[in-house]
């Protein structure tokens, strides 16, 4: 059965490319900015277009009997296997690292579709591979820029939140210097205040860390609480209360740092959208066995024409905004197979709804 498929395509991958019909050869050559490849159901290469030489540095003879596991970075193998094991024949889009001939890796976008031989019913996989290294570098640069912008905007609120514990600690130290009793009580209070500052500064430093891609099972409410601690001082400056409505033990498989970045962006946007005091609700629900997170503000709301533009690079309704926050949010959610819906509330304000599939 395997041989039937191989014979149908290319008998000898490196030496007999001319066995393809001329119109197919021409089409491949005319679209040489991407790599075109065909694989059997065991992941062995049946065909590579000549553009492989330019993009990955391999000659076609290097690729005889190679498997896709030989080309993909070890961290991406599990993800690729899950996608290829799916029964669907729908087109799939994956982002993976591919190994070049010099052992370095590049970011690639792989568009894959599964087909079946009409006679033998053997599976074959047809893929178009695009080098997106430059695009990824630009995205990462924008993420770093947005992170620094967010950190700067939070600095005033964080400074206010740290000043209060410092004032308390200074006062208790002065009392201890004066020789008052109840030292143990004062020590405990000072330790509590120091721990508060540690939590706030840890969360602030967390923002500046590079985004990783390590997905684990995480408690949604725990991540929200971490973000609320960081934003509470900024909300307090505007007399805004953040109300967190929890869903018991709601978990998702995610990269913790990335989803916390999403929550930070959305709750921070809600605070900035509100011109008067009020309440921001962060509601976690399980709907049809899927987790949903709503961030509901009491601001002026968003018009229909603006809603469709939100998330576009550099589009912003804020005077000092970068226009990158929601774009980055959507990119992160895409990587987590999640979506963001923006809803105009019936009374006032907007709802930003995350749905994890």
Structure confidence by residue, pLDDT tens digits, 33-50: 788 888 888 888 888 887
pLDDT at position 134 is 80
Q: Within its chain, how far is the Cα of 104 from the centroid?
A: 23
Report residue 348's pLDDT band, with 50, 70 and 90 as the boundaries: confident
Which numeric CATH code is attached to 136-356?
3.30.565.10
Q: State the average pLDDT over residues 307-331.
A: 56
Query: For residue range 36-94, what is the model confidence (pLDDT) as tens digits?
Result: 888 888 888 888 887 888 888 888 888 888 888 888 888 888 878 877 777 767 778 88
- Region(s) of the chain under CATH 3.30.450.20: 2-131
pLDDT for res 13: 43
The span from the CA of 248 to the CA of 266, in Å, is: 22
Cβ(51)–Cβ(36) under 8 Å? yes
Q: Please say whether the beta carbons of 150 and 264 come within 8 A.
A: yes
Please say if the pLDDT value at position 239 is more than 50. Answer: yes
- The pLDDT, as a whole number, for residue 220 is 94
pLDDT computed for residue 203 by the predictor? 60
Residue 126's alpha-carbon distances to 10, 27, 122, 243, in angstroms, are 13, 15, 13, 49
16 pLDDT band, cuts 50/70/90, is very low
Question: 30 pLDDT band (50/70/90 cuts)?
Answer: low
pLDDT grade, residue 221 (50/70/90)? very high
Count CA atoms within 13 Å of residue 37 on its CB side.
26
Lowest mean pLDDT among 199-203, 317-321, 349-353: 317-321
CATH fold, domain 2-131, is Beta-Lactamase (3.30.450)
Average pLDDT, the chain: 77
- All CATH 3.30.565.10 domain ranges of the chain, comma separated, are 136-356
Q: 3-12, 159-168, 345-354: which has the minimum mean pLDDT?
A: 3-12
* SS3 assignment, position 80: helix
Sign for the pseudo-dihedral over CA of 131, 135, 141, 142: negative
| pLDDT band at 204; cut points 50, 70, 90 | low
Q: Residue 270 belongs to what H/E stretch?
A: helix 256-273
Q: What is the pTM of this model?
A: 0.49
Burial of 248: CB neighbours in 10 Å, binned 0-12, 13-18, 19+: exposed
Tell me which of 133-137, 277-281, 290-294, 352-356 is least confident.
Answer: 133-137
Structure confidence at residue 124 as a pLDDT band (50, 70, 90): confident
Specify the pLDDT at position 4: 46
Strand duo 240-245 + 278-287: pairing: parallel
pLDDT at residue number 232:
85
Q: Count other C-beta atoms under 10 Å from residue 231's C-beta.
A: 22
Mean pLDDT throughout 337-352?
A: 87
């Amino acid at each position: 059965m395997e041989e039937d498929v191989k014979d149908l395509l290319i008998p000898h991958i490196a030496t007999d490319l001319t066995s393809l019909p001329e119109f197919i050869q021409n089409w491949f050559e005319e679209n040489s900015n991407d790599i075109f490849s065909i694989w059997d159901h065991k992941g062995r290469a049946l065909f590579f277009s000549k553009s492989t030489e330019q993009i990955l540095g391999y000659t076609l003879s290097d690729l005889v009997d190679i498997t896709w596991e030989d080309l993909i970075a070890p961290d991406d193998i599990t993800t690729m296997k899950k996608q290829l094991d799916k029964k669907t024949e729908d087109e799939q889009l994956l982002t993976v690292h591919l190994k070049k001939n010099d052992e370095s890796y590049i970011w690639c976008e792989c568009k894959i579709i599964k087909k079946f031989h009409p006679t033998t019913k053997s599976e074959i996989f047809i893929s178009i591979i695009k080098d997106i290294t430059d695009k990824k570098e630009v995205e990462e640069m924008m993420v770093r820029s947005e992170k620094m912008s967010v950190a700067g905007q939070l600095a005033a609120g964080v400074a206010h939140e740290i000043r209060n514990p410092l004032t308390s600690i200074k006062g208790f130290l002065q009392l201890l210097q004066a020789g008052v009793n109840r030292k143990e009580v004062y020590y405990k209070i000072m330790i509590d205040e120091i721990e508060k500052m540690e939590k706030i500064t840890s969360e602030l430093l967390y923002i500046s860390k590079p985004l990783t891609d390590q997905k684990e099972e995480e408690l949604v409410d725990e991540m929200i609480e971490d973000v609320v601690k960081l934003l509470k001082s900024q909300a307090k400056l505007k007399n805004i209360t953040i109300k967190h409505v929890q869903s018991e033990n709601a978990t998702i498989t995610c990269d913790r740092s990335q989803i916390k970045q999403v929550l930070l962006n959305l709750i921070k946007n809600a605070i900035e959208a509100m011109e008067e005091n009020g309440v921001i609700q962060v509601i976690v629900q399980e709907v049809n066995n899927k987790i949903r997170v709503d961030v509901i503000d009491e601001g002026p709301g968003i018009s229909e024409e603006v809603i469709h533009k939100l998330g576009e690079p550099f589009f912003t309704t804020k005077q000092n905004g970068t226009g990158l926050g929601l774009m980055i949010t959507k990119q992160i959610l895409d990587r987590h197979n999640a979506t963001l819906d923006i809803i105009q509330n019936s009374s006032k304000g907007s709802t930003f709804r995350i749905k994890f599939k």
